Amino acid sequence: MSLLGLGRSDAGLLRGYIRGDYTAFEKLYHRHKDALFNYVFRSLGQYAVAEELAQEVWITVLDKAATFEPREATSKTWLFTIARTRVIDFQRRRVNQVHSDSDSLDVPDQQLDHERQLLLQQMLTGMEQLPVEQRETFLLQLEGFSNREICDITGVGTETVKSRLRYAKSTLRVQLGEET
C-alpha cells in the first residue's frame, strides 16, 4: 500500500480513486470503515445485517464516487448519508416483513465481560425504543458528527437536531436508570 494517501483528504482520495488509484479507495475505506459499521450496527442492533449493509454502502461509494460534489458536502457526510439511506431502506423492508423471535439484538460477545455486555444490551435496547429520528441523530453524534453535519446528513434544521438530541439523551437516561 502506498504511503501517498496518508496525508490526503477524503475528497482527494475519492478523486484519486476516480482516476484509477485503487489504493486511494483502500485508504478511504480503512479511515472510515469502523465508524460506518458502528453507526449501522447501533442503528439496527443486528451484527450480521450491519456487516451486510456496511458492505452495500461501500459498494455504493465505489459506484457513485464520480457523482460526489465536495462543494455540497464533506465526503464523510456523503458516506454517512448513503449509510443512513441504507438503514432506512432496511427498516422499511423489515416493517413490511413478519417479525420473528430471531429479530432480537445480536450483540457479539467477543472480549466483553459480563457487566459490559449487560450495559451494552441495555443501551442497545434503549436506543431501539427511541423514535427513529432521535436514534439516528444520537448515533450520528456518537460517531463524532457536529450538529451542522447531522443537519446535512438528515436534511433537517439545527433546532430540530438539537431537540432530537435532547429528547434522545433524556429518554436514554431514564431508561438506564440515571434519572427518575
* Per-residue pLDDT tens digits for 159-171: 999 999 999 999 8
Which 3 state secondary structure label does DSSP give 132? helix
What is the dihedral sign for C-alpha 36, 39, 42, 44?
negative
Q: CA 83, CA 158: separation in Å to the nearest integer?
A: 21
Distance from chain centroid for Cα 129 = 17
* Per-residue pLDDT tens digits for 119-160: 777 777 888 888 989 999 999 998 889 999 999 999 999 999
At residue 58, the pLDDT reads: 96
Which 3 state secondary structure label does DSSP give 106? strand
Residue 48 has pLDDT above 80, yes or no: yes
Q: CA 108, CA 4: separation in Å to the nearest integer?
A: 35
May I ask the CATH class of domain 1-106?
mainly alpha
Phi, psi of 106 (to 5 degrees): -110, 90
At residue 112, the pLDDT reads: 52
May I ask the CATH class of domain 110-180?
mainly alpha
Residue 6 has pLDDT above 70, yes or no: no
Q: CA 43, CA 100: separation in Å to the nearest integer?
A: 19
Per-position DSSP letters for 36-53, written without gaps between them: HHHHHHHHH-BHHHHHHH
180 pLDDT band, cuts 50/70/90, is: very low
* Per-residue pLDDT tens digits for 62-116: 999 988 887 767 889 999 999 999 998 888 887 655 444 444 455 555 545 667 7
Q: Looking at per-residue confidence, does 4 or 135 come out higher?
A: 135
Domain-wise residue ranges, the chain: 1-106, 110-180
Same fold, 1-106 and 110-180: no
